[in-house]
Amino acid sequence: MSGNQGMEQLIPIVNRLQDAFATLGVSLALDLPQIAVVGSQSAGKSSVLENFVGRDFLPRGSGIVTRRPLVLQLINANVEYAEFLHQKGKKFTDFNMVRKEIEEETDRVTGANKGISSVPINLRVYSPHVLNLTLVDLPGMTKVPVGDQPADIEIQIRGMLMEFITNENCLILAVSPANTDLANSDALKIAKEVDPQGTRTIGVITKLDLMDDGTDARDILENRLLPLRRGYVGVVNRSQRDIEGHKDIKQALGAERKFFLSHPSYRHMADRMGTPFLQRKLNEQLTNHIRDTLPALRNKLQTQLLSMEKDVEEFKNYRPDDPTRKTKAMMQMITQFGADFEKNIEGSGSEISTMELSGGAKINRIFHERFPFELVKMEFDEKELRREITYAIKNIHGIRTGLFTPDMAFETIVKKQIQKCKEPCLKCVDLVVAQLTQVVHNCTQKMSRYPRLREDTERIVNTRIRECEQKTKDQLVLMVDIQLAYMNTNHEDFIGFANAQQKTETSNRKKIGNQVIRKGWLAIHNVSLLKGGSREFWFVLTTEAVIWFKDEEEKEKKYMLPLDNLKIRDLEAGFMSRRHMFALFNPEQRNVYKDYKQLELSAETQDDMDSWKASFLRAGVYPERKSEDDKNSKDEVTSSMDPQLERQVETIRNLVDSYMKIVSKTTRDLTPKTVMHLIVNQIQSFLEAELLAHLYSSSDQGSLMEESAEESLRREEL
């Protein structure tokens, strides 16, 4: 292949690959380069595709019309006809029959209740009027279910769109109508989620002829507003009246050309507008895109081929009923499972994932980020603590007026605080157990060939995990009870009564100094130019302030927000948003940032948000407390304060703070050690020494090593 001829063959090659994979009905995990068409319902997607072909062939109507992905392969040829992959060899020359077949094939898979399916329909259109081009038409985004559609139809459609457009090899054709607010275009929003830099998105603006008088889309078509690297193309489709009146598409293309040539805002760019230009642009973009991705695609295909050839070689002399083979295979599977589990937890081995955290890394994160966060979260609220101390002192004195600070008030308050440690410790165990269960499930994937073996292995290991879980929880509860049994006020780190009277929270905070706690990217939702949008900044959190910069070089400072009197709260993210939101605010309703009562922030993942919240807690920014008691009794406590009582409250408060730091430090240290000793290490020992014996005693080897029906079929096909 050389020159232009070679370039022209690129799209047909990918077409053949698409058809081959669809026919096989198996996924070869290949991300084929393609163009996916996204847009809201009634954005004009169908009209754009029909204009390419020059024929009416797509289903029309109200509600969701496209309910399965349509892989539309346009092929330049002398004769005009269409052909479906599921009816190979049958040529459709009547395009009304093409529409009917799409509707019937959709209903065959989804039913007639307007449901959706991600199983594609492959359609080839041969015509002298088209350029070689392949597009995947996806269902239009909607918010309201119609007919018998499930209530979560919006989530289902979004999930299907994400399946296609998250593929880095997929170009996104984002279709948006010009007669709506383009800044809130569903197509551009979802494209930006997966392609934030706009490097693989092509914008199409429809319905330019339906804009209000005195308005135009010149700024966006010239790529000045919401810029995309591949730019925008404007088109004018037939109106509903034109379609009902059977207006010829050729006439419509002529009217479109006339519109751009005569419109004062668009005539200077008329050669870069319209359906014919869009088709040429897409042909060129897809061809270049395939050329750029072809080397990686070839390597991936060769890897898959080698893997399949290895499987074929293995199956040549395969005897499924050979007991020796079954014993050997079972031993290998269990040994491999144990090795994979250890690698996942310990982080050893040559294959280190760069895509996600391993099970061991996630458990480490639970120990050192999530657990401390839960522990700090349960710590006292300042006003609530002072109120409790006041009540304790008053109740201990009773009818008498006390001259000295009572020890019993300190012990009562400390015990109440220590008791709160149980919940975070038990939650830490729950999180680790959930992660271990997931690791076990992931490590048994290689056993999927033998479903009974996989099922029994998971059942036996998970049963042992649950046994260890209960022992660990009992041990951690005992650890807290031991702390409650005796208040060691002679501990070397305890402040003591003499120092407690001089120490205050302010002086304590100043001793810490302005240390950096965390750095990283966060999005601010109060500063976006677009309503509902956001901008990312580089954040630096210290013990005294949170500062954000333009980027990680930290040269261009945008703002510095002192942490004094700030609180933190969770926020509900937008329905279409994949980010996790929280806010900083002042409980006294003062402005925090510019004219805003709160600074709205978001992180990309739940783990990132939890980590940031834990960091803010370390900096002294606590979650908001929704306590009715606080509102009802705040005035009563404050008004009853006298200087003597206030000094006693401050003394007890400093003693409690000092002692709880010792308890918290011990708990943070011993809880991970206890979990590791009684769960993680126990499970690793169990896999090495006992799992095989449990499997042999649970059922006979023959039934354990029965192949799945899918595996038998795959072996026969290979």
Residues 288, 294: Cα–Cα separation, whole Å: 10
Q: Is the pLDDT of residue 4 over 70?
A: no
Of residues 337, 551, 286, 361, the one with CA closest to residue 454 = 337
pLDDT at 32: 74
Instruction: Give residue 633's pLDDT.
Output: 45
Q: How many residues does the chain have?
A: 718
Q: What is the pLDDT of residues 493-541, one digit of tens each?
A: 887 765 655 554 444 444 445 678 888 899 988 765 444 567 889 999 9
- The yes-or-no verdict on residue 607 having pLDDT over 90 is no
Percent residues over pLDDT 90 in the chain: 23
Mean pLDDT (whole number) for 15-21? 70
pLDDT confidence of residue 28: 44
pLDDT-based confidence at residue 262 (cuts at 50, 70, 90): very high
Report whether pLDDT(5) > 50: no
Please tell me which residue, 286 or 353, carries the higher pLDDT value: 286
Measured distance CA(181)–CA(220) in Å, rounded: 12
Question: What's residue 357's pLDDT?
Answer: 78
Identify the residue with better confidence: 712 or 522: 522
Residue 201 to residue 194: CA distance in whole angstroms? 10
Say if residues 603 and 612 touch (Cβ distance below 8 Å): yes
CB 138 within 8 A of CB 174: no
CB 493 within 8 A of CB 568: no
CB 60 within 8 A of CB 46: yes
Nearest to 231 by CA among 192, 256, 201: 201
DSSP symbols for 591-659: -SBTTBSEEEEEESSHHHHHHHHHHHHHTT-EEP---HHHHHHHHHHHHT--HHHHHHHHHHHHHHHHH
Chain segment 216-253, per-residue pLDDT in tens:
889 889 988 888 999 999 999 887 777 777 777 888 88
Residue 508: the pLDDT is 41
Of 143, 144, 146, 123, which is closest to residue 135 (Cα–Cα)?
A: 123
Task: Kindly write down the DSSP assignment for every residue of 202-238, as one continuous string.
Answer: EEEEE-GGGSPTT---HHHHTT-SS--TT-EEE--PP
Lowest-pLDDT range of 151-165, 269-283, 297-311: 297-311
Give pLDDT, residue 449: 80
pTM above 0.75, yes or no: no
pLDDT of 17 above 90: no
Phi, psi of 75 (to 5 degrees): -130, 125
Q: Does residue 311 carry a pLDDT above 70?
A: no
CB 297 within 8 A of CB 33: yes
Residue 130 confidence (pLDDT) above 50: yes
Tokens for 12? 């047909």
Q: Which pLDDT score, from 0 to 100, does residue 639 have?
A: 43
- As to burial, measured by CB atoms within 10 angstroms (0-12 exposed, 13-18 middle, 19+ buried), residue 351 is exposed
* pLDDT (0 to 100) of residue 434: 93
Residue 680 near residue 461 (C-beta atoms within 8 A): no
Proportion of the chain above pLDDT 70, given as a percent? 78
Average pLDDT over residues 326-349: 83
- Say which DSSP state 92 is in: B
Q: Is 36 helix (H, G, I), strand (E, B) or coil?
A: strand
Q: What gap in Å lies between CA 362 and CA 615, rounded to an integer?
A: 17
Residue 436 has pLDDT above 80, yes or no: yes
Highest averaged pLDDT of the listed ranges 346-360, 498-512, 544-558: 544-558
Tracing tokens 């407390």 back to the chain, one arrives at 625
Task: Give me the CATH code for the 36-212+226-296 domain, please.
Answer: 3.40.50.300
Asked if residue 469 lies in contact with residue 428, where contact means CB atoms within 8 angstroms, the answer is no
Amino acid at 500: A
Enter the tokens of residue 589. Answer: 């309703």
Grouping H, G, I as helix, E, B as strand and the rest as coil, residue 69 is coil
Stretch 630-640: mean pLDDT? 45
Q: What is the pLDDT of residue 29?
A: 39
Beta-strand relationship, 557-562 and 545-549: antiparallel
Q: Is residue 352 pLDDT above 90, yes or no?
A: no
What's residue 634's pLDDT?
45
Confidence of residue 319 (pLDDT cuts 50, 70, 90): low
In this predicted structure, which of 143-152, 319-328, 432-441 has the lowest mean pLDDT?
319-328
What is the pLDDT, as a whole number, of residue 497?
60
Do 386 and 638 form a contact (C-beta atoms < 8 A)?
Answer: no
Residues 575-589 have a mean pLDDT of 78
Contacts of 629 (CB under 8 A, 6+ apart): none
As to burial, measured by CB atoms within 10 angstroms (0-12 exposed, 13-18 middle, 19+ buried), residue 649 is buried
User: 489-522 burial, b for 16+ CB within 10 Å, e for fewer?
Assistant: beeeebbebeebbebeeeeeeeeeeeeeebeeeb
d(CA 623, CA 585): 10
Helix (H, G, I), strand (E, B) or coil at 712: helix
What is the per-residue pLDDT across 155-209, written as a single tens digit (0 to 9) for each?
888 888 998 898 888 899 999 998 888 778 889 999 999 998 889 999 999 999 8
Mean pLDDT for the chain overall: 80
Q: DSSP code of 695?
A: H
Give one DSSP letter per residue of 147-169, joined into a string: TT--TTHHHHHHHHHHHHHTSTT
Greatest mean pLDDT range, 405-414, 461-470, 535-544, 703-712? 461-470
Instruction: Please tell me the predicted confidence (pLDDT) of residue 1.
Output: 39
Given a cut of 50, whether residue 351 has pLDDT beyond it is yes
* Mean pLDDT on 575-592: 79
pLDDT reported for residue 287: 85
Query: What's the Rg (C-alpha) of the chain?
Result: 33
Kindly report, residue by residue over 103-121, the tens digit of the pLDDT. 888 888 877 666 788 888 8
The total of other beta-carbon atoms located within 10 Å of residue 460's CB is 19
Does residue 695 have a pLDDT over 60? yes
| pLDDT recorded at residue 511 | 42
How confident is the model at residue 353, as a pLDDT?
66
Digit-coded pLDDT (tens) for 387-434 = 777 777 777 666 565 555 566 777 888 888 899 899 999 999 999 999
Q: Give 620 or 73, the one with higher predicted confidence.
A: 73
Instruction: State the average pLDDT over residues 126-131.
Output: 87
Domain boundaries, the chain: 36-212+226-296
One-letter amino acid for residue 496 of the chain? G
Of 61-70, 508-517, 620-629, which has the strongest mean pLDDT? 61-70
Region 564-581: mean pLDDT is: 76
pLDDT of residue 498: 56
